[in-house]
Structure 1
Amino acid sequence: MYLNCHTYYSLRYGTLKPKELLTLAAQKNCKVLALTDINNTSACLDFVRMAPNYDIKPVLGIDFRNGADQQFVLLAKNNKGYHNMNSYLSSFLHKPHSIIPERPRLIDDSYVIYPFEKGKDYSLGTNEYLGVSQKQLNSLKFSKHIFNKDRLVLLHTVSFQNKKGFNTHRLLRAIDNNTLLSKLPTSEQGNETDQFLSIEDIQIIYSDFPRLLENTTQLLNECHIKFNFSVTKPKNQRTYSNNEALDFRFLKKLTYQGLSYRYENVDKKIYSRISKELAIIKEKGFVSYFLINWKILKYARSKGFFYVGRGSGANSIIAYLLRITDVDPVELDLYFERFINLYRQNPPDFDIDFSWADRDDITRFMFKQFKNTALITVYNTFKFKASVRELGKVFGLPKSEIDALTKGKFNLNQLDNLSQLVIKYSQYIQGFPNYLGIHAGGVLISEQPIHRYCATFMPPKGFATTQIDMVAAEDIGLYKFDILSQRGLGKIKDTVEIIRKNHPLQKPIDIHNIKRFKEDKRIKYLLKNAKAIGCFYVESPAMRMLLKKLQVDNYLGLVAASSVIRPGVAKSGMMREYILRYRHPERRKDAHPVLLHIMPETFGVMVYQEDVIKVAHHFGGLTLGEADMLRRGMSGKFRSRDEFLKVKQQFFDNCKASGKPDAVTGDIWRQIESFAGYAFAKGHSASYAVESYQSLFLKAYYPLEYMVATLNNGGGFYSRELYVHETKMHGGIIQAPCINRSGDLTTITGRTIYLGFSFLRSLENETTEKILMDRAHYGPYKSLDDFIDRLSISVEQLAILIKINAFRFTGRNKRELLWNAYLQTSKIPKEAHIPTLFYSKKVSYKTPELKSTELENAFDEYELLGFPLCNPFNLLANPTKNSLRANQLLHYKNRVITIEGYLVATKNTATSNGKLMHFGTFLDRNGNFIDTVHFPPIAAKFPFKGKGIYAITGKVTEEFECVTIEVISMYHQAIIEDPRYSENPKKPAV
């Protein structure tokens, strides 16, 4: 009876979760149900998968609408019809501002249902019907269609459950229309009666029209949709060459060809590993998956793109020999069964990182090379704060009240009615899908057309994107290729190019010579002393302190550290235990004997995802397949699924049956549970470590070039100011942007580094483009007058360049230059420069004698760059005589000291009882790091007050030669008054 049912995937319209819709249907004794979300098929596969659990036959369709205006409903007669409907909907979603027509073209294997008022004058085809709603029954009695009973069906829309659902629906429609709720047109919302009625209620309402009920039942009975969720083989592109046997021979050939590139000496262990992997890859039908990745990366190498293959794929020697990854699984004894095992149905998982500048080209290649390709969507949901802001606008609350609500600065019982409603409904819609986005890197390459499974839309990125997410895709056997981007690779690539230009006589660098890097003494020094600012994954304060505590100076140690730093290990309490067992071998005997036997390399501490599988298998008695399901479930994908809960119970049952004490089993489970959701696969950590070594090599031997590349790729963990500081620490001579020497990006010649125009926060891109284009055509600028003659930019943009001292090559004071600029230019830009042989004589303006100081320069830099180029301690209003420095703190262990620090970074966290605390990172006067911890009472009493210099008083603590100050008090130090606005500026200390 239900031909038109919506879930909350009818975005900003429906309010029912798919499960709620099915639950309601089951409660109303409904046996057949059609899901017809508005212009959307996101819920379809999940709906079909879950429907049998509710003893309901699923029917799939689409409600085609322009906004809230319903044009028609399409129902799929079968899977072919569903495919055709998806293709038809996609034809509109791929074009911006497409209007859906009132009548569709002929869609094979589908049924069309028109709203009665729209279709009553149509000459209906054999697959077309008129849908009659409850409020249209009276009209039907007097319509000619009363005699055409075969073409009439019941069209009762279901969009919400009750009055609260209807109110929520209206709020969502107001958000969608960006209007006040009081001004929401009735045409933009559904009817309050669009709720789930029982079969009995429907039979009473339509009792005068039994034929409608018969036709509706018959129409639903003719619809059959079926998908196989018991996936035995993936539905990804099945073959690479259209011949499975040929594919396998080609994979085998590529594998053995790769031996000479990867190994100097090949032993039986390597050959044995190859044979084992090839056999399993063939048996599981994963050959094409490897070959497709090989093809993509072969193209990347042909274009000179840097990439890193990571994830559990690094556990495979085949991936290593095909150059998909750069991690040797034999050297690291990587657990292949984490990657592929005979119990695992889904294909192996390769995460391929490219430079952010190269990824789109790789994506274009994939769409061009492989027929059935699409990006994967993500469901961007309503978050609480965003919901409060949206609903606050809908209810017409002033901005100040909305800001207070989003910050949680309220007592619910003291709020007025409107504010209480905002909070109530914000909590209700939290987690509702808001709009469809694009997965960070997921790409599907399917054997069959994507539209067999869902519709696609076309985001601004320009690549067709599915309406289902990765979980729904995996349920049906479609597994993603991960094509990701990160700026770390951009830094490495750009550094190599900068070195080539700045050191033309230098031999080309083989950045892939990881074996050499592993033995390099300079890299060992940087690691052991945590001097890795700017280097991939090892520069954060937490990683810097961990490296110091572990005294890591080798590759395997870094691999472990890359995973130990993850929240799961810290949360389980095992990070500290790992450090203790690493540094004090006698503590290793405290480990549970079974765990120590399972994980001797990490002293009985779970560090990698593989460890979850090992412990679940050897300690909990689960099969490898069950153990991997447990591991996947704990990653968050399937935690609520029945399959996961059954495996969890099996773990406890097995432990009990084998006589393990409940307390021990419970403790091991808690370690698994707190750890698994955040852990890295060992191969993933190993891949990260490879990239860390590449960046460490460049930092060790070419620090200035590497820091320039870091600045040009958006920095890293810290702000750009810190990387400018780090460049100075390595002897770089930092220059403010210069009209004749700077580009858009930062440049280096020898040791002199000119910041790019992109550093100037208010300088428009158009201005930069004009400067660079003109300079390329007509050469350097000779003077300010020459610049003004040649370029048409506004006086405001010119003032920015003068204030940052970009015309310092003229030798003229910048205040004098500003006077000349204002006298010679208008606020309205001139026409574009046209070169001429003759110039009119310039009027000579006599300006008063003006001076600017270095202190004024520093404040101009603050304004335009966001930080001064001088030492910030020189700007203190009241310089102190405090001589304590970071490298002296170890001598003051357990003593209370006061030290001055320039704030670099903060990390906010919460204690076990939910109270806010902080970790701080500062620089001392010499540019060395100070690390602080601010426990909740101190965090509340002495909060951070933005960037600047603080006087920090606290107790010096030391753990494993790592020094931290437990803050007792902290005061923000005043800087000197801005001399640009001061009548009596102080003498600068700069």
Structure 2
Amino acid sequence: MFLNNHSYYSLRYGTMAEQELLALAKDNGCNILPLTDINNTSGCLNFIRRAPEYDIKPIVGIDFRNNNKQCYVCLAINNEGFLELNNFLSRHLHAELPFPDEAPQFQYTITIYPFKRLKALNKTTFLESEYIGVGLDDINQLKFSKLNTLKDKLVFLHTVSFRHQKDFNIHRLLRAIDTNVLLSKLPKEQQGNLSDKMIALSEVELELAEVPHILKNTQKVLECCTIQFDFSSTRKNQNLSKLYDSKEQDFEALKSLCNKGLPKRYDDVSETIKRRLDKELNLIKKQDYVSFFLINWKIIQYAKSKGYYYVGRGSGANSIVAYLLEITDVDPIELDLYFERFMNLYRTTPPDFDIDFSTWDREDITHFIFETFGANGQAALLGAYVTFKHSGAVRELGKVFGLPKYEIDKLSSGKFNYNQLDELSRLVLRYAKYLDGRPNYISIHAAGILISEKPIHYFSATNMPPKGFPTVQFDMHIAEDVGLYKFDILGQRGLGKIKDAIAIIKENKPEVTLPNIHNAKPFFVDERINAMIEQAECIGCFYVESPAMRMLLKKIGVNDYLTLVAASSIIRPGVAKSGMMREYILRHKNPERRKLAHPVLWDIMPDTYGVMVYQEDVIKVAHHYAGLDLGEADVLRRGMSGKYRSREEFLAVKEKFISNCRKRGEEDAVIFEVWRQIESFAGYAFAKGHSASYAVESYQSLFLKCYHPLEYMVATVNNGGGFYRTELYLHEAKKLGGVLHAPCVNKSNIETIIRGVDIYLGFQHLQGFEKRNMLALLQARVYGKFTSLNNFMERVPMSIEQLDILIRVDAFRSLKKDKRTLLWEAYYKCNHIVVDELQPQLFTLGTKEFTLPEFTITNLETAFDELELLNFTLHNVFLLLEKSPTNKLITRDLKYYKNKIITIYGYLITAKNTRTHKGDRMHFGTFLDQEGQWLDTVHFPPVAKRYPFRGKGIYRITGKVVEEFNFLSVEVIKQERMPYVSDPRFDMTYNRKETPQMT
């Protein structure tokens, strides 16, 4: 009987999840229920999927509203009607247009106009599919309305948004958040009514006893609507089904492309390769994933035609078909990649292909996808729900309750005594708990693009976010449930570094001939590159530069490709926290230790010494060790990936895993230890092909750094760095022989450039220097270098504040005048000449020259100017200390102090916060010593609490030198940040300025 029902996907309005709404309907005896969220279809597919669990026939529609003013409620008669509604809603959302007073003449949709609304519309005639919605409070007015004569058009329209008073309270808070007003100031027209609750059917029948035709019409409307989507495990793949005229042609094209790729990838096409290829092709065809591979291939072909660099990874990297199509550069034969991780008959989803492009190229790739596949509305970005988090909800609620900022900050931080809070603050915390995890607004999935056989609006309406691509109103889980599988197109700075480094090398070293960077196999056996990896000299290189990875490379002693592939997965939390990282290192270094491996596990995973390292190891162990079939093993894979939401099937497989192992005579201690390792993988391990893809890109970047280090570091800086701040990459360039220069008006560009070994910082690094002035400077310099400050000011008009930045960073040093002299001149001239930043001077104006004293500018003053303007200094940072270090101990001396207490000075680079198994906070610190070498520290909970990090700076560290697997670090006992010297620019005793005389 209820035609208008809201879930919490009526964003910042509704309060119930889809299943909560269904449960409410079942409790009230409903066997048919529409979901009609406000201007939104996010919940529709999951509502349809879950409705059979409650013995309810689902119907979907939309409650169309302009600024919370209800226009009409529409119900889809069938799937075509849902398409109509999604088309209509999307057009208005994309263009940000209000909905018209009257709905269009839908062909497969029922439109219900609220009785109160019709008074204003003066609408008296209705199409066959149009109805008048009457609420309980409309009955008396209806008796005196001429609409009462249209008995066949009257239906019961009662809105259901809440279950009880608490829901209504939450609703009002959500409306206040949405309209950005105090709760006490929330207008009535922006709220629903407390009566918008589900009423017992007996009460409805009693209230409408005098107008039984209304209930009869309502039932008729409900019964004529139906909606069908297949959510079964045998559901049809809803992705674009073919690229050519038929699926047979698609398959022949795929086979032909693979055969063309064989001689390119393999000098000797062995029987093993042929068998693997045939096996994959047959299964790809059987699983109906041919077009999935061809679409990825087409994307790659476009990227190659544009000269874009890319990396294909994910479980699809385990595929020889992907390797032959050049979607990936990982050879599954060489690495013995496990076929069943990539695909098996029990797998219900296509393999994962994550294709990385440089951040700059990704947008064009996305445009290509939409132009090629989205012409008929068949492409869209995948949505993602941004939910309320407790801290954010506290902030939002604090504002609508009118709490002062300091009180909101305290509540949000969690640093308070609950017993000392007033009732209002407790109310904020109580309702923040209710909001936690509920949808706030729809955003965009980080990488997913959908390409469907049917129009995307068959499944959902779309929003049009600032990116300019339509975006569906559901997330990846719902997409997979209905048979839509995403294509992952990601942006990655590492590829931008590689692309830019090659361009910089060609410009700075035109005599150099570079090898084909896409063919990484020669790099795998390059002794110089492998020596770099072994010493962890990988700063700036993709995936191998972080402190944790640097530590792991040294502990293992990685010096070849296959071990780097393993390290790329071992570093993941699942392997590291389960203890398997340590066990792998022990077995890698000590052959005797390998004898401890379980014989079956050793046989399954000999390359990792019987230690589970990769995602497919879980499938192998489940299948070969526990005797599960591949379908059951795939349940474990999905369960550990974090994408699989139902725990029932997962727990059933766990029970069978244990039962099978017991039947095989395994001891419980061994069984539960193996299972513990499997569980630790939850979402935190790579497929081997994925790790191998990462290792390939690591070797590509390592090659460039090894043989062209300065050019590579410049490319790294220009691509936003990586794990560390810009200053660390400049420090690395300096260590590698580069000569660093502050920005220069006659030599620098917007980005950092290199000439020989001279590296000139780009203007983009100057804090507060405007982009328009960078462009104006470069445009003026086309006509020749700047010869004086006057010459610059005439050619590049800018405010004194902007000019001050350039002078203080010493960007005019090529003019052979010190910056203090230039500041005197600049301020005098700007005070006496009106500067129009938009209009260059037509004629040169004479200006007075100054007779100035000779100024002395110290390195310390320059360092402070650089700190202010660049956020770092090009000088030795230890120059800034108020007191020089009391000792000169450096990292390379630590080997002489093993297990001894030392004091050492370090400049903080980064600190990783983590927690122990007990939940206590601890830190891992990364510093540079006085020589500029790495210093690694461990801060256990008592020390972390007593001596916290206090921001960027130089610390005096006291601690014990410890060694593990030849890796030295300091277990901190005490640390303090050392004070910097007073800023000499503002210290009159340090620097007395003399007043210049004018001539």
Structure-2-length-normalised TM-score: 0.97
CA distance in 1, matches of 2:206, 2:549: 69
1:85 aligned residue: 85
Question: Cα deviations across residues 248-274 of structure 1 (Å, max 9, x unaligned)?
Answer: 111111111111211122211111111
Q: Indicate the SS of the match to 2:41.
A: coil
- Opposite residue 820 of structure 1, the aligned amino acid is E
| Deviation for aligned residue 1:358 | 0.2
Question: Cα deviations across residues 312-368 of structure 1 (Å, max 9, x unaligned)?
Answer: 111111110110000000000001111111111222221100000000100111111
Q: Is the 8 A contact 1:535 1:696 kept in 2?
A: yes
CA distance in 2, matches of 1:220, 1:11: 25
| Deviation for aligned residue 1:575 | 0.9
| Deviation for aligned residue 1:227 | 0.7
Residue pairs, 1:178-217, within 5 angstroms:
178-217=180-219
1:515 aligned residue: 521
Q: Is the 8 A contact 1:277 1:318 kept in 2?
A: yes
Q: 1:428 aligned to 2:444?
A: no
CA distance in 1, matches of 2:215, 2:666: 61
CA distance in 1, matches of 2:737, 2:443: 45
1:537 aligned residue: 543
CA distance in 2, matches of 1:87, 1:716: 42
| Deviation for aligned residue 1:842 | 2.4
CA distance in 2, matches of 1:57, 1:232: 20
Q: Is the 8 A contact 1:612 1:676 kept in 2?
A: no
Q: Is the 8 A contact 2:798 2:837 kept in 1?
A: no
Q: Indicate the SS of the match to 1:260.
A: helix
Q: 1:909 aligned to 2:914?
A: yes
| Deviation for aligned residue 1:740 | 1.3
2:953 aligned residue: 948
2:779 aligned residue: 773
CA distance in 1, matches of 2:670, 2:149: 76
Q: Is the 8 A contact 1:737 1:805 kept in 2?
A: yes
Q: Indicate the SS of the match to 2:64.
A: strand
| Deviation for aligned residue 1:680 | 0.4
1:114 aligned residue: 113
User: What are structure 1's unaligned runs of at least 5 residues?
Assistant: none
| Deviation for aligned residue 1:834 | 4.1
> Which of 950, 962, 965 is the matching residue for 1:957?
962
1:226 aligned residue: 228
Q: Is the 8 A contact 1:149 1:212 kept in 2?
A: yes
- Opposite residue 588 of structure 2, the aligned amino acid is Y
CA distance in 2, matches of 1:781, 1:538: 43
Q: Is the 8 A contact 1:896 1:953 kept in 2?
A: yes
2:311 aligned residue: 308
CA distance in 1, matches of 2:853, 2:284: 81
Q: 1:298 aligned to 2:301?
A: yes
2:624 aligned residue: 618
Question: Cα deviations across residues 186-223 of structure 1 (Å, max 9, x unaligned)?
Answer: 11111111122222232233333322211111100100
Q: Is the 8 A contact 1:7 1:16 kept in 2?
A: yes
Residue pairs, 1:739-754, within 5 angstroms:
739-754=745-760
1:406 aligned residue: 412
Q: Is the 8 A contact 2:985 2:991 kept in 1?
A: no
Q: Is the 8 A contact 2:799 2:837 kept in 1?
A: no
Residue pairs, 1:891-930, within 5 angstroms:
891-930=896-935
2:167 aligned residue: 165
> Which of 479, 483, 487 is the matching residue for 1:477?
483
> Which of 474, 486, 495 is the matching residue for 2:501?
495
Q: 1:839 aligned to 2:838?
A: no
| Deviation for aligned residue 1:232 | 4.0
1:252 aligned residue: 255
CA distance in 1, matches of 2:113, 2:652: 46
| Cα distance change on mapping 1:232 and 1:169 into 2, 3 Å | closer
Q: Indicate the SS of the match to 2:938.
A: strand
Q: 1:882 aligned to 2:887?
A: yes
| Deviation for aligned residue 1:60 | 0.4
1:446 aligned residue: 452
| Deviation for aligned residue 1:641 | 4.8
Question: Cα deviations across residues 86-129 of structure 1 (Å, max 9, x unaligned)?
Answer: 1111111111x311112111111110011111125312211111
CA distance in 2, matches of 1:721, 1:357: 23
1:19 aligned residue: 19
2:997 aligned residue: none
- Opposite residue 80 of structure 2, the aligned amino acid is K
| Deviation for aligned residue 1:848 | 5.2
Question: Cα deviations across residues 266-312 of structure 1 (Å, max 9, x unaligned)?
Answer: 21111111111111111111111111111110110000000000001
Q: Is the 8 A contact 2:230 2:236 kept in 1?
A: no
1:853 aligned residue: 858
- The range that moved more, 648-657 or 452-461, is 648-657
CA distance in 1, matches of 2:580, 2:204: 60
CA distance in 1, matches of 2:279, 2:918: 50
Question: Cα deviations across residues 894-941 of structure 1 (Å, max 9, x unaligned)?
Answer: 000101111010000111121111110010011111100011111111
| Deviation for aligned residue 1:10 | 0.8
CA distance in 2, matches of 1:598, 1:82: 50
Question: Cα deviations across residues 812-843 of structure 1 (Å, max 9, x unaligned)?
Answer: 1211211211111259851534464x423223
| Deviation for aligned residue 1:509 | 3.5
CA distance in 1, matches of 2:393, 2:299: 41
1:368 aligned residue: 371
| Deviation for aligned residue 1:514 | 1.0
Q: Is the 8 A contact 2:885 2:905 kept in 1?
A: no
CA distance in 1, matches of 2:205, 2:895: 84
| Deviation for aligned residue 1:719 | 0.8
- Opposite residue 303 of structure 1, the aligned amino acid is K
- Opposite residue 40 of structure 2, the aligned amino acid is N
Q: Is the 8 A contact 2:642 2:682 kept in 1?
A: no
Q: Indicate the SS of the match to 1:332.
A: coil
Residue pairs, 1:42-53, within 5 angstroms:
42-53=42-53
CA distance in 1, matches of 2:552, 2:576: 11
Q: Indicate the SS of the match to 1:94.
A: helix
- Opposite residue 255 of structure 2, the aligned amino acid is K
Q: Is the 8 A contact 2:860 2:879 kept in 1?
A: no
| Deviation for aligned residue 1:763 | 1.0
| Cα distance change on mapping 1:620 and 1:588 into 2, 3 Å | same
Q: 1:343 aligned to 2:346?
A: yes
Q: Is the 8 A contact 1:385 1:406 kept in 2?
A: yes
- Opposite residue 855 of structure 1, the aligned amino acid is L
Q: 1:977 aligned to 2:982?
A: yes
Residue pairs, 1:562-961, within 5 angstroms:
562-776=568-782, 778-825=783-830, 829-834=835-840, 836=842, 838-847=843-852, 849-961=854-966
CA distance in 2, matches of 1:845, 1:92: 66
- Opposite residue 749 of structure 1, the aligned amino acid is R
- Opposite residue 88 of structure 2, the aligned amino acid is Y
CA distance in 1, matches of 2:427, 2:356: 45
| Cα distance change on mapping 1:164 and 1:751 into 2, 3 Å | same
CA distance in 2, matches of 1:813, 1:770: 24
Q: Indicate the SS of the match to 2:533.
A: helix
Q: Indicate the SS of the match to 2:737.
A: coil
> Which of 135, 145, 148 is the matching residue for 1:146?
148
2:561 aligned residue: 555
CA distance in 2, matches of 1:204, 1:413: 49
CA distance in 1, matches of 2:327, 2:459: 29
| Deviation for aligned residue 1:148 | 1.7
State the identity as a percent: 58
Q: Is the 8 A contact 1:496 1:509 kept in 2?
A: no
| Cα distance change on mapping 1:128 and 1:539 into 2, 3 Å | same
Q: Is the 8 A contact 1:382 1:432 kept in 2?
A: yes
1:6 aligned residue: 6
| Deviation for aligned residue 1:982 | 0.9
Q: Indicate the SS of the match to 1:622.
A: coil
Q: Indicate the SS of the match to 2:71.
A: strand
Residue pairs, 1:122-137, within 5 angstroms:
122=123, 123-137=125-139
Q: Is the 8 A contact 1:794 1:828 kept in 2?
A: no
- Opposite residue 551 of structure 2, the aligned amino acid is M
